[in-house]
Structure 1
């Protein structure tokens, strides 16, 4: 009988062969932006190369939805046509930004590939942003055009940037030309390819810039994982795996770690469209024989709330992972107890928009041996715990999680100060998260001190506080995260009203709805006339405020 220790030793030996000198996924140090970092030797240098290579999968299916099926060959041909229209008829050139403001769709994916394959930069706007937030994004990223669905297009009325329709323009452009050459462009590895927005402690969203190198490193990381499984005797060919995509495409989990690598591996994506519905998702698992599912804890919790799922055939699911938000050991235990497919397949991970992919992954073995850990750093990631002076701390001591790899973002778009605060000249990324290492595994203590993670969405209080403070009846306010059984956390606001004010929480909620994405609008309110507690320097003592 093989023990867990033996299994880990076998995996490490296989990994050493795959990544060592002469291995298919050889890792060797190379210069990356002035710093020596481990990189995959046998990698692509530009994203259009992945598109070109994908035609070898021909009639295999790349993306399927509830009512559409798109092969790799069809996808490549349609992207070629769309890229030609963008370049020749809309003047999109290398380095230009093309923003996408839309819910998940096949057209979102095709717009992505057409844009990056001509050297332009995809700007993935959060599909839940308000009109005000979209206006900020357009002003900040300065896209040459925006691709939007009907809901987002209505919020963009009056903008001076051309807006193309997801449902009308993109399908027409994708079939405008037949048998055209696949797009290509001369780009450097460290040229920008994608900008994804993440909230900042200053209260305004920051655009994390991801390069061709970043995304192609993620591709090799996933190809390596597939090769490792195959070498360890995984019965199902990685190409025959079916990956459920129910996470937003403006997140690294959906775009960088699913849509992009699967074009390189020849495996299928089952794209779930619309609001999450447990019954509809489970029916898709049945119908498409889905093998891999990456979910935020909120989705997993809704499966638990759905009750008995024995009426659904989930026997194909052999990989179920949690991402984008923290979850407790007890929650994971409930998943293993109540979801048959989670019993032996559940894994957890830790990553940031800035890191492009997972920083650390906790396997089923890690979760069993060390509940509460987030596992070990993934291949190619260097991780240190540092004190406030930047000194590396020994194992077991608590400090800031710092990481370095070829996956890490280039920086923040048009924000040198924020970039300098996050990434040093030696390319170490300061996450702002507090944790410790124990037996090589990462444990998080605090995830960005003030951060609220609501159903997988990052919410920074400063942005909401800025909006509420502009209301004439608000003297001061503080926004906090409060525990929520489904979402993990909900947004709570404590508002100090001006003397004589009769403002209500309903009125403040209505005001916030007009200024913020719905997931940022507080759902718990406490109005008071008492001043917020502050320390000697005038800062609010957050720990002393109850939601």
Structure 2
């Protein structure tokens, strides 16, 4: 594959430059290139080529090397976070029709064959027959069952033909997430350095930025809010940070405003990506704006009946376990409601998450942005609840700060008083649920279907 050779040749040229820092130890590009070669030799000795393979491991230099080694063997790779529960891993293996299970760590590759596994899906068979390496990326499943998106790896790598700016970056998203995979590929393709976190707590992120002079941080809006609430940024020197890119969910207006107030010298950029699309190049209208445009990557967009549709060279070739989301003329239906303002795109929310109150649309992110301004609220998720009168009503599931223990009645009154001059009546939550459990997934996104709940009051009494 031309793109694979391009990147491995670039690694050789970067030589002793540091590629990754893991557990406070530096790994050079020379090491990375040699490790890729060693792993390919092992795979060849085991006869693993043109196979569907799971890569089950944590984020590390060995995981990065294994990704490239497997692509070099024309394999279809299922990156899987090794910390997932066994049942979820088995689900992914079955959906992805994995023939071989591989782990990667300091000891090298661990290889287990799945007896009786057979590749039957036409998309997977097509890649193997054409000797085209692939990636199968699973959506987060925060609003339902995970979907398996199949990508041609050559199309994902093609965007890195032009070498860009090297940066010290934290790979915040896991490598089995499209955002995490994109951060890894972008940083390494441009000769930057990936600083792998020990954990993804605000304290550890800030410590890493200060210690290593991190310049770029790709995160979710949910994490940005958690970092601000933690106050960890006030305990560390974060002056090296130049850009924060956010995506994977709608950014609440309040969170962006609070972030820019705390980091006035850091450029905030809205990213746009999906498991189905890859991560597209974007340009925000400004750091304090939720408007953005698509920049290159052969990507174009249109809005049909209020829904954003995108055509891009990096788009997947299809799902393994879901209906085809492409239109007859090749546009991907993203499922995002959007509008165009001053020539820029603004994402309003997922259509599947919109609450319909008596025919009036309510976007959860809009209500969440208001509620996050209310003192004492640490996390909040807004969702639909069935109503016999209006069809649906707005429900807010709230996690309060540990030092806050108001009664349910008191919280209802506070929310109603706070929201009544900020939101139309139909957007004010009519049901409040208090939870002690986190409303954030392991991918640091809001959980749109929270499970742990207490209470069942109605604001209207």
Give the TM-score of the pair, scaled to structure 1.
0.60
Residues 418 and 361 of structure 1: is their aligned pair in 2 closer, same or farther, counting only changes over 3 Å?
farther
* Secondary structure of the corresponding residue to residue 249 of structure 2: coil
2:137 to 183, 186, 196: 196
Per the alignment, residue 401 of structure 1 pairs with: 308
Map 1:11-22; keep pairs closer than 5 Å: none
1:296 to 201, 220, 223: 220
Asked if 1:66 is matched to 2:7, the reply is no
- Cα displacement (A) at 1:359: 6.6
Alignment RMSD, CA only? 3.9
Residues 264 and 188 of structure 1: is their aligned pair in 2 closer, same or farther, counting only changes over 3 Å?
farther
Give the TM-score of the pair, scaled to structure 2.
0.70
Per the alignment, residue 47 of structure 1 pairs with: 4
Map 1:28-43; keep pairs closer than 5 Å: none
Matched residue count: 372
Residues 418 and 187 of structure 1: is their aligned pair in 2 closer, same or farther, counting only changes over 3 Å?
closer
* Secondary structure of the corresponding residue to residue 317 of structure 1: coil
Residues 326 and 481 of structure 1: is their aligned pair in 2 closer, same or farther, counting only changes over 3 Å?
farther
Residues 252 and 188 of structure 1: is their aligned pair in 2 closer, same or farther, counting only changes over 3 Å?
farther
1:138 to 93, 104, 126: 93
* Secondary structure of the corresponding residue to residue 524 of structure 1: coil
Q: Looking at both structures, which has the greater relative contact order when contacts are Cα pairs under 8 Å and sequence separation is at least 6?
A: 1
Deviation string 1:413-434 (CA, Å, 9 cap, x unpaired) is 3x4x612xx0134321011111
2:205 to 272, 281, 284: 281
Residues 297 and 249 of structure 1: is their aligned pair in 2 closer, same or farther, counting only changes over 3 Å?
same
Q: In structure 1, what is the Cα distance between the partners aligned to 2:400 and 2:317?
A: 35
1:83 to 29, 40, 52: 40
Per the alignment, residue 376 of structure 1 pairs with: 293
- Cα displacement (A) at 1:127: 4.8
* Secondary structure of the corresponding residue to residue 327 of structure 2: coil
Which moved further from structure 2: 401-410 or 126-135?
Answer: 126-135
The answer to whether the 8 Å contact 1:351/1:360 transfers is no
Per the alignment, residue 101 of structure 1 pairs with: 56
Per the alignment, residue 321 of structure 1 pairs with: 245
* Secondary structure of the corresponding residue to residue 99 of structure 1: strand
Per the alignment, residue 17 of structure 1 pairs with: none
The answer to whether the 8 Å contact 1:105/1:273 transfers is no
Q: In structure 1, what is the Cα distance between the partners aligned to 2:49 and 2:99?
A: 9
- Cα displacement (A) at 1:196: 0.6
- Cα displacement (A) at 1:259: 1.2
The answer to whether the 8 Å contact 1:45/1:188 transfers is no
Q: In structure 2, what is the Cα distance between the partners aligned to 1:135 and 1:210?
A: 21
Residues 261 and 523 of structure 1: is their aligned pair in 2 closer, same or farther, counting only changes over 3 Å?
same
* Secondary structure of the corresponding residue to residue 174 of structure 2: coil
Per the alignment, residue 386 of structure 2 pairs with: none
2:353 to 450, 455, 458: 450
Map 1:149-188; keep pairs closer than 5 Å: 164=103, 166=105, 168-170=107-109
The answer to whether the 8 Å contact 2:250/2:349 transfers is no
* Secondary structure of the corresponding residue to residue 59 of structure 1: coil
The answer to whether the 8 Å contact 1:59/1:71 transfers is yes
1:357 to 259, 276, 279: 279
- Cα displacement (A) at 1:437: 1.1
- Cα displacement (A) at 1:339: 2.9
The answer to whether the 8 Å contact 1:126/1:197 transfers is no
Asked if 1:246 is matched to 2:172, the reply is yes
Asked if 1:418 is matched to 2:319, the reply is no
Residues 483 and 378 of structure 1: is their aligned pair in 2 closer, same or farther, counting only changes over 3 Å?
farther
Residues 521 and 302 of structure 1: is their aligned pair in 2 closer, same or farther, counting only changes over 3 Å?
closer
- Cα displacement (A) at 1:102: 2.9
2:185 to 248, 260, 273: 260
The answer to whether the 8 Å contact 1:61/1:71 transfers is yes
Asked if 1:427 is matched to 2:330, the reply is yes
Q: In structure 2, what is the Cα distance between the partners aligned to 1:376 and 1:485?
A: 34
* Secondary structure of the corresponding residue to residue 74 of structure 2: coil
1:522 to 447, 451, 460: 451
Q: In structure 1, what is the Cα distance between the partners aligned to 2:273 and 2:108?
A: 35
- Cα displacement (A) at 1:340: 4.8
* Secondary structure of the corresponding residue to residue 184 of structure 2: helix
Map 1:447-526; keep pairs closer than 5 Å: 447-450=350-353, 482=396, 522-524=451-453
Asked if 1:309 is matched to 2:309, the reply is no
Asked if 1:269 is matched to 2:194, the reply is yes
Per the alignment, residue 346 of structure 1 pairs with: 268
